[in-house]
Chain A
Amino acid sequence: MGTSSNPRPTDPSRKHARPRAGFSPFSRFALTRSLLIPAQLVFVLLVAYLSIQVPSDLTRYGAPPLTVTTFLTGFWGMVANIFTGHWGVASGTLTYDGYSWFQLYRDFLPNSLQIALFALPIAAALAYVIGLSSGWTKRPEYDTPSRITTLGLGLVPAFLIGLLVEFALFFVFYHVFHDIPGDGIIPSPSWYPNGIFPSWITGGWITHPTGLPMIDGILHEDWPFEAITLAKTLMQAIVVALVYVAIFMRHARNVVASTSQETSITAARSRGISEPTLLWRHTAAQVRPTFLLLFALTVPAYLATQFVVESVFVDPGVGYLTLTVLTAPKGSENLAGIEGMVFVLAVVVLAWTLAVDLLAARSDPRGVTSR
């Protein structure tokens, strides 16, 4: 060996490698990836402006003709309104009329976060365990039937699954808690004496001081409230997780099946390593980065599922509000609400995708250079 072989440490997973001057490959990847986010956000807002505001302006009587100047002015106006919280006022929705869409989104966000905090770990754990086991036991004679079954279940809309669960558990829930399950995330008005909410719940849906019902219940030491809220949150979280796992499984099975046929796994098996160890240690380590990427790719599907499940349980959350603003009468105020909703969704999904992408790059045994 010549002395000229001075390996440049391009792979961060290599230990004792001499650090390179400047950015590490991971930092470069993270920087490039992060810089894309604003561009993607602008693109999504442009699509929203082109598809919502421009046709509305074109069909409005007396509207100025569309020129480059009016287009740019209008787009800038929309972006400015979104960032300053001028999202229009709800109209034609009965319950929320007169409220600003921005205020509604701000008030409803904690409920959705609370469900997501429960649903995400349940969904991740189920997806990890079921995805690994189902792909591992993949045999040609079971492959097509299981794929078709998964797909058939995927064709059943989430709202139908939610309704079936709600109806199936209705009597048990009523018997245990003296409350109905399909009426928001906090106890329904009929549960309180004379139908009057305590002072720390305003409007029948916002709890104080944090806005997160379970935290506020603890702070006010209202344990019956806490039990009902926990039960309702868990019910919604489990439905969301079950539907999401069916979506995740379609992708996960193939990833595990192809990994299980790799030479390293076959070699490990030939050394007499037991099947559970092969699956839960060797294969799991290899598929984890891909699972994380799948997790990022299926974020929109997860959100759509949670939105629908929130609506089934009439939970005042971002999902219920999103479906409300989309089905509201198409006045200019409600259109502004849709633009705000698009912004919120894009920020959530893009941030999530970025975080998962970076996490996957960090945990990939082949290092960031494989991406």
Chain B
Amino acid sequence: MTENISPPRRMDVYRRHPFGTQLWVGIGMLAFYVAVALSALVVFRGSLGALSENFAWQTPLPPIGPSWTYPFGILPGFGVNLLDAIWQATPWDLAIVFGILAIDGALGALIGAIAGLHEGSAIDHAVTFLGDSLGAIPAVILVAVIFAGVVLAVPADRSLWLFVVLFGLLLWPPSARTVRERVRVLAQRPYVEASRANGATNRRLLFRHLLPNSLGPVLAQLPVDVAAVFFFLSVYPWFFNCASPYPGPGVGYHVPGLPPFSPLPTTLFPEWGFQLGFSACDAFLVPGGPIYWWMFLFPLLAIVGLGIAIALACDGLEKWLRFGL
């Protein structure tokens, strides 16, 4: 006699294992970012892709710091109110980060799980070889190298989306490596063996049993990848604008410039990483001189806040999945 046991419903699972505080805090922070992004879509509609410059602010001496009128101060060079610049950049940065993480996480989980399920096969060897070889170059340099060439063959207005796809495609090896290890172990577990004995196909084993139980490593890796994304977006503008040996614009505040392979279409495109990289030039203008802290602090807080929100959400989700599934 066989007893037909139906799997527990999601709501029942949730009642037994509700979300933890961490997950709720993470979701709350992400909801705040999404609300800011949505409000930017309304407030800056029609000019979302370009910051509004005030030429009088481009070389103010001394630079205008935070005040009641301009709570985040002014960013010279661009000649923009920093609060508006960060607000306007929010929807773009969320789209960039979530786009990259979605491609990176999905690929890492899938490729790693397939390799782990077919341990020792040609697929497994190919995935390991590919991941190890791509890992031979630091991700931020590899993306720059590939993007610098490929962007030549793509229209300028598509370069940002090309960057998102490319970065997502190149970030998968660390996630795949850890997922592969997890799946290798899980594939030997009795419940997987039982399912296999019942005639489950590899695809069912993968999507029903192995992948849902192997998401932990991917969720642990995603917040780390956020750092890589913003490192790329900020380090090249910083270097190009104030540390490179190229001819500079002269004394005083810099005129922002984009490195040759920048994914951003224009210098006035609102993006936190570019703002942080460029503002670091102006904030540390004279060696040994004053540090104009607000110029880099607020873009940095926006980036760190998003990274922490994603980390809390991923950590909380991983704990919930561990007990909930």
* Bind each other: yes
Residues of A within 8 A of B311 (CB): 147-148, 151
Q: Which of B88-147 contact A (CB under 8 A)?
A: 129-130, 132-142, 144-146
Residues of B within 8 A of A43 (CB): 129-130, 133
Interface contact A328-B260, CB-CB below 8 Å: yes
Interface contact B236-A326, CB-CB below 8 Å: yes
Interface check A17, CB cutoff 8 A:
no
Interface check A109, CB cutoff 8 A:
no
Of A170, A311, A322, the contact of B141 (CB 8 Å cutoff): A322
Task: Report the stretch among B31-39, B44-52, B148-156, B203-211 that lies at the interface.
Answer: B148-156
Task: Report the stretch among A55-63, A68-76, A216-224 that lies at the interface.
Answer: A55-63
Interface contact B146-A47, CB-CB below 8 Å: yes
Interface check A250, CB cutoff 8 A:
yes
Could you tell me the distance between the alpha carbons of A308 and B280 in the complex, rounded to whole angstroms?
14
- The contact string, 1 if C-beta is below 8 Å from chain B, for chain A 226-246, is 000000000000000000000
Residues of B within 8 A of A324 (CB): 244-245
Give chain A nearest CB distance to B281 CB in angstroms.
Answer: 9
* Number of B residues with CB within 8 Å of any CB on chain A: 59
A330 touching B139 in the complex, CB below 8 Å, given contacts A151-B311, A160-B296: no
Specify the main secondary structure of chain A where it touches its partner: helix
- The contact string, 1 if C-beta is below 8 Å from chain A, for chain B 288-325, is 10010000100010011001100110010000000000
Residues of B within 8 A of A182 (CB): 287
Could you tell me the distance between the alpha carbons of A112 and B22 in the complex, rounded to whole angstroms?
42
Interface contact B132-A40, CB-CB below 8 Å: yes
- How extensive is the interface on chain A, given as a class? 35 or more
Of B141, B236, B287, B304, the contact of A152 (CB 8 Å cutoff): B304
Interface contact B239-A56, CB-CB below 8 Å: no
Interface check B87, CB cutoff 8 A:
no
Q: Give the one of B240, B260, B277 with max A CB within 10 A.
A: B260
Could you tell me the distance between the alpha carbons of A353 and B138 in the complex, rounded to whole angstroms?
13
A40 touching B133 in the complex, CB below 8 Å, given contacts A52-B148, A148-B311, A326-B145: yes
Interface contact B135-A94, CB-CB below 8 Å: no
Could you tell me the distance between the alpha carbons of A180 and B284 in the complex, rounded to whole angstroms?
14
Q: Which B residues fall within an 8 A CB radius of A?
A: 22, 129-130, 132-142, 144-146, 148-150, 152-153, 174, 223-224, 226-227, 230-231, 234-236, 238-240, 243-247, 259-261, 276-277, 280, 284, 287-288, 291, 296, 300, 303-304, 307-308, 311-312, 315
| 4 closest Cβ pairs, A-B complex | A95-B245, A300-B138, A51-B146, A52-B149
